[in-house]
Chains A and B, each alone.
Chain A
Amino acid sequence: MIDRDSPVTEHELHAYVDGEIPADRRDAVEAWLASHPEHAARVAHWRAQADAIRARYDAIASEPVSVRFDLEKITRASRSWRAVAAAGVIAAFLAGGVVGWMAHGASAAAPSRFDIFTAEALGAHKVYVVEVRHPVEVPGAERPHLVQWLSKRLDYELRIPDLERTGLKLVGGRLLPGPFGPAAFCMYEGPSGERFTIYYARTDSPQTAMHYRAGDGFAALYWVEHGLAYVVSGPPERERLASVAQAAYDQIDKAAPSGKQ
């Protein structure tokens, strides 16, 4: 395997930190880092930078953004809604200047809803994706019952997306205790056994753009829409995770009550 032995590039190290490294190169990068402590230290420093940035700005980035995106318009253009929404956030950051932005969020100490829900979702993901016999309480074959049950418990009309288009079959779902009340949890499985989950919890947080969080061997994308927080978790391959989350978002948004925007 030439690929496996080829030297690790600078760009690959960044891609590794950002969850963009192809699955077949991750092991090679990790092995290489194990024998190159100087570079491992650089990678650790980049991670610490990212943690510091998130610790400083997550709470602010989760605040209502003046950019409300018109999904239809964006879909017609070739850009993804995430890109457009995030571009608005960054534009606000740059226009306000770093100082203005900082003054705006002077009290960013408490863990944000983003931190809390993402940690809950990744925790559940880690526990249940390895289950062979009992990954869910209600199997995907009973989808209508699953939707009805979870919707009733969350007192929110849930939408459990069909992700066959992205190669994922619904395994089923379960109810979870959440930090602020019951949470719903659905699991999907791909052709090579890889599993993705969607975590749903009620929240009074305002609508947000999607946020990415890399966990311990897993990664998650979080967003809030119409009073519900969503966390899509899966293997740490960003492109794949983003496409799964986008597919889920598209269906959930279509089903959302009209006339809200």
Chain B
Amino acid sequence: MQAIEDNDAPDMTGPEAGARDIERALASLAEDQRAALLLVVLEGLTYREVAEVQGVPIGTVMSRLARARMQIRAYLDGERPTLRRVK
């Protein structure tokens, strides 16, 4: 028998909660959006540098980031029932 904790459903705190879900959420993104997000979050590039790497204006980089974050949130929210931590 496993109990399911309901009260922590909407968050994704703690690295253990995020690992597999974030993998799948990233995989669901369009390539340009995923690259923009990873360059900023993981590689620490400035928006200007990402624009340089991707060969697009900074405004486009920001739009890609916004869409990537929205999509990840929607993905994780949509998956919420299976995201509940099982103890």
Q: Which residues on A are within 8 Å of B, measured CB to CB?
A: 10-11, 14-15, 18, 20, 42, 45-46, 48-58, 61, 79-80, 82-84, 86-87, 89-90, 93-94, 98-99, 102, 108-109, 209-213, 221, 238-239, 242
- Which residue of B has the minimal Cβ distance to A79? B52
Q: Are A82 and B22 in contact (CB under 8 A)?
A: no
A15 to B47, alpha carbons, bound, how many Å?
A: 9
Known: A52-B12, A82-B49. A213 touches B18 (CB 8 A): no
With a cutoff of 8 Å between Cβ atoms, the chain A residues found around residue B15 in the complex are 51-52, 55-56, 109
Known: A15-B62, A83-B53, A93-B38. A242 touches B46 (CB 8 A): yes
Count residues of B near A (Cβ-Cβ below 8 Å). 39
Known: A83-B49, A86-B53. A209 touches B43 (CB 8 A): yes
CB distance from A218 to the nearest CB of B (A): 14
Q: Are B19 and A55 in contact (CB under 8 A)?
A: yes
- In-complex Cβ contact of B43 among A48, A56, A61, A94 (8 A): A61
With a cutoff of 8 Å between Cβ atoms, the chain B residues found around residue A50 in the complex are 41
Q: Are B26 and A83 in contact (CB under 8 A)?
A: no
With a cutoff of 8 Å between Cβ atoms, the chain B residues found around residue A211 in the complex are 42-44
